[in-house]
Structure 1
Amino acid sequence: MAKLQVRGARKAYGATIALKRGDMVLESGEVHVLIGSNGSGKSTLCKIISGSVRPDAGEVIIDGRPVTVTGPQMARELGIGIFYQELSLAAHRTVAENISLARLPANAGVFVDHAAVGATAERYMAPFADVLGDGFAADTPVVKLRADQRQLVEIMKTLATEAPVLIFDEPTSALDSAQVERFFDVLRKLRGEGRSIIFISHRMDEIFAIGDRVTIMRDGETVTTMALSDADHDMVIRAMVGGQEALIATGNADDEGTRRTGKTILSVQNISGPGFSEISFSVAAGEIVGFGGLHGQGQSSVLRALFGASRRQAGTITLNGTPYTATAPRAAIRQGMAYISGDRGHDGVITDRPILENVTPVHFLRNRLTFAFPGRLRAAVLPALQALRTKYATLSHPISSLSGGNQQKIVIARWLTDPPQVLLLDDPTKGIDLATKTELFALIRELAEKGMAIILYSSEDSELLTNADRILVFSGGAIARELTGADRTRYNLYHAAYEAA
């Protein structure tokens, strides 16, 4: 009898379908790998199993019995522990307190048993003793730890649940090779004890090193499950790609070659900074350069550094042949840079303010305006709003009155009112509907045809393959491969990303 089964799980957020059909069978005493490209539904499936997301359809079966996982507490009671991609540590609590956070031992059911907390910490730290690094101790506040050390604490916290079913969603992303091998030793021991483990990773060598079977997801659906002993790297990647190996870009090789022979607008040489190193590339007038690869490999960090939102530590940048030294967004804007983030809540909208105030700040800055004349401002922003087919009642309404897609259009119109020389797009369509995406990319191609230089990072591979003239595949904060012309295929994109990882 399988330890855990998921049948026909489905989850949608409005018009966005995060999971069309998730199926999985997890046996006792196995490490079951879950793999798929960005947005394939892996994390959503795991969140359904762990109770942090309620499915719209489907069932979860544990030990042959259908269960309703109503929340994380219910999942723990059912014997499910999970490591999330986004760490859930209490930064100002100690390592020991974080490890026991899910179930703090108490004296008389009231006071925390600090001796028991310390003993638990020592127990789960012991297997990692020689790879913890300097400054790591049971009484160290988590806020003082490095990224790899914090990730180890999260792993220990998950192990401390003692759950029969453990889910690890990209647990090795910040670990070095020695730390990964020690973690795998722990997983092998748990597997030998009959525990059941779901393991998500984008590193192909890890998948084959630790996994027994692999379930492959594509476009929100489970497509196949196979024994890793009967598979190889190429077989797994082809299953991820399916029948979509051919070039699907809208342009052809001749168009791309013509654009690349145009005037170089932006030249980047050997820049390094937090999350990336030794990055070099150029963008010509009228060219769309794509940043591809797995999520979190330095793409967004490079874009933010170009915009002056984070400091670069080395390298040179030229804009139209002259040195570009913007160390803050204000200076970048005045030199002709624009940055559009998909995280409109954090980097885009000015909450609780009118639409007009949200769409005009860049126009104010670029034109060095001192006084606001609403009539003139409306006339200035209307062409960009109309080009994006933005729906709103009046510009005096609060931006919160708009749908998510129209809020993002307001953010985009902010930058296009006074067209920039270089447009930096940081996953700009995240969380917006298909119709809005289509309109946005039609506009992006139109801007490129008018000579704008554009850099596009997207977590959706199809957006890059459909719109980018070249794709720079990132891995570990560096450019692993450049895909041009007929090499711009889904297979090559996956192969470059996963093999490099």
Structure 2
Amino acid sequence: MSATDATAPPLLRATGITKRYPGVRALDGVALELRNGEAVGLVGENGSGKSTLLKILAGRIAPDEGTIEIDGAPVRWSSPARALDSGIALIAQEVHVQDELSVAENLLGQQLPRRRFGAIDWSAAARSARELLDSIGLAHVSPTLRTGRLSLHDQQMLSIAKVVRLRPRVALFDEPTSSLTAAEIERLYAMIAQLRAGGTAIVYITHRLQEYFDLTDRVVVLRDGQLVAESATTEIDENGLVERMVGRRLVRLFERPAEKDAERPPRPTALRVRGLTTRTLRGIDLEVAAGEIVGIAGQAGCGRSSLAGTLFGQWPYDGEIAVDGAPVALGSAARAVRAGIALVPEDRKRQGLVLSMSIAENLAMPSWRDVARGGVRRPAAETAWAEGLRERFGIRAVSVATVAGALSGGNQQKIVIAKWAARGLRVLVLDEPTRGVDVGAKAEIYRIVESLAAEGVAVLVISSELHEVMRLADRVVVMAHGELVGEMRGRDATEEAITAMAFAAGKESEV
């Protein structure tokens, strides 16, 4: 990390930042200083106030108390545009692109090149966008493509790039890697390095703890809206960081419990797949026993999410799928659910929840017939039933009447898992189950997954975090180019072995 001049006046100074909501003090007298070219990690559990602080610094919400100074001069912004005029840019966790606009329009925004008399020069716009797309590793994306047709991680890279290209004085990153591949994360690292070299100060939030050690000079820890610790990144380790975040010692998150590898009697097969073939999958053969957790690993584009979607009835396929020995035809998600197969999707906010509905309504959605009487909803019974699930799965909220969109990522993910578990699952497919989830909630989700397996549910875990796969899986299956290319026992799996297997298969396919 580049050194910064400690004697120079701070580029940005925030003092006494306080923000209250009804019944909640989101921030309580928080202070933060940033210097040119410095990278600061903002650390804390969901609900600690991290995102609220970034939104205040970026002019999206106003503090109730406190001051912000740029180069020693007090500032107060009435909008994000005003903050951006001062050089403060926020790259938010949520993907911010306009689906109906082209890639070039999203990238260039108000800076679209124009001809005489104000007409947009679309050829020049395409050239500028093409140059930028190539520089961020999106050479496969056309500048004229409608942005809504891009994958989630391509949209995320696009939303990052359109802010980074402005070369802001302060760049605020809120979970920028939540939906990125390993290669895209490397490109993001390079972009951040370029920004810092030009004097941009960085504030960085992530749930992938290693990123703090890769990118930042120091870390600032928030808990319950208060600043509780600050340290140079080189003077703290991952365990120390977690302890400061949660206020207690936590068992190492990715440490594999010894009991997972104890010998167990043979279990009946819950899911059997034979010759599964789609537009992107080729001859998949796979079995998962009742109570077994199988991890699916592989590089981006290997077919993991396609497999998940196909098992949930989202894509047409050839081949055979059987649940508990009985063949099933999965022509739709409804058929998959009736067969006992459920999917926790990668993008929970768009595909797993209705954010404007309450916890109870989201939980009851797949099971409302079981809670209703004669086809008529019973609100009191639905509430009592949902409260039972809230307690069982540790969903933290004042009540089940709370709107799902107001909850943290970890609690939202618990709702998605709980709504399927309430139906009596046989097969649970988890696609990136802890994306955008803090370390405390991550540990809780691991316990939930393992408890469902202990009840006899067959579990498939797809994750780009290999440590997560190795922590949870009884068996690891590796995919490459739409095929299963190898497997190993969970206790024998290493990051090196999984990566080597995936890359070796990739090279063979290219040959």
Secondary structure class of the residue paired with 2:89: strand
* DSSP 3-state at the match of 2:39: strand
1:27 CA drift (Å): 0.9
Q: Distance in 2 between matches of 1:280 and 1:43?
A: 43
**Structure 2 residue aligned with 1:93:** 101
> Alpha-carbon deviation of 1:53?
4.2
Aligned pairs for 1:235-274 within 5 A:
236-242=237-243, 244-246=249-251, 253-254=258-259, 257=262, 262-266=267-271
Counterpart position of 1:337: 341
Q: Which residues of 2 match residues 149-168 of structure 1 at below 5 A?
A: 150=155, 153-168=158-173
Alignment partner for residue 201 of structure 2, among 175, 178, 196?
A: 196
Match of 2:425 among 406, 420, 423: 420
Match of 1:368 in 2: none
The secondary structure found in structure 2 opposite 1:98 is: helix
Conserved 8 A contact 1:215-1:225: yes
Q: Which residue of 2 aligns with 1:397?
A: none
Q: How many residues align?
A: 461
Task: Identify the residue that residue 397 of structure 2 maps to in structure 1.
Answer: none
Contact between 1:388 and 1:409, CA under 8 Å: does it hold in 2? Answer: no
- Which of 300, 308, 312 is the matching residue for 1:307? 312
Cα shift readout 1:424-448 (whole Å, capped 9, x = no counterpart): 67899999xxxxx9x9999998876
- Aligned-pair distance for 1:51? 2.4
Offset, 1:83: 2.7
Q: Is the alpha carbon distance of 1:482 and 1:378 closer, same or farther for their aligned partners in structure 2, counting shifts above 3 Å?
A: farther
- Name the CA distance, whole Å, in 2 between partners of 1:152 and 1:429: 20
Q: RMSD over aligned Cα, in angstroms?
A: 6.9
Q: Which residue number in structure 1 is paired with residue 81 of structure 2? A: 73
- How far apart in 1 are the matches of 2:38 and 2:53? 16
Q: Structure 1 CA distance, aligned partners of 2:113 and 2:237?
A: 44
Gap change, CA 1:306 and 1:217, over 3 Å in 2: farther
Shift of 1:281: 8.3
Query: How far apart are residue 196 of structure 1 and its match?
Result: 2.7
TM-score, length basis structure 1: 0.59
Q: Residue 95 of structure 2: SS of its match in structure 1? A: coil
Contact 2:45-2:223 at 8 Å conserved across structures: no
In structure 2, what is the equivalent of residue 46 of structure 1?
54
Shift of 1:80: 1.0
Deviation at 1:74, TM superposition (A): 2.8
Letter of the 2:232 counterpart: M
Correspondences of 1:165-244 after superposition (within 5 Å) = 165-169=170-174, 170=176, 174=180, 177=183, 188=193, 190-199=195-204, 211=215, 213-215=217-219, 217=221, 223-226=229-232, 230=234, 236-242=237-243, 244=249
CA distance in 2, matches of 1:56, 1:267: 57
**Matching of residues 115-126 of structure 1 within 5 Å:** 126=131
Aligned mate of 2:323, from 301, 319, 324: 319
CA distance in 2, matches of 1:457, 1:412: 14
Partner amino acid, structure 2, of 1:165: V
Q: 1:306-356 CA distances to partner (integer Å, 9 max, x unpaired)? A: 332x33879986532455552422221222234578958864569999x99
Which blocks of at least 5 consecutive residues in structure 1 are unaligned? Answer: 366-370, 391-399, 432-436
SS of 1:101's equivalent? helix
Counterparts in 2 of 1:475-486, with a 5 A limit?
Answer: none
1:9-62 deviation line (CA, Å, top 9, x unaligned) = 56677778877886543211x151536588476544433321234456655432
Structure 1 pair 218–32 and aligned structure 2 pair: CA distance change class (3 A): same
- The alignment partner of 2:425 has SS state of coil
Tell me: higher relative CO, structure 1 or 2? Use CA pairs within 8 A at least 6 residues apart. Answer: 1
C-alpha spacing 1:357/1:385, structure 2 compared with 1 (3 Å)? closer
Residue aligning to 1:34 = 41
Cα 1:379–1:281 change in 2 (3 A) is farther
Kindly provide the amino acid, as one letter, of the partner of residue 61 in structure 1: E
Amino acid at match of 2:200: R
Gaps of 5+ in 2: 1-8, 392-399, 437-441, 503-511
Q: Percent identity?
A: 27
Instruction: Name the TM-score, length of structure 2 as normaliser.
Output: 0.58
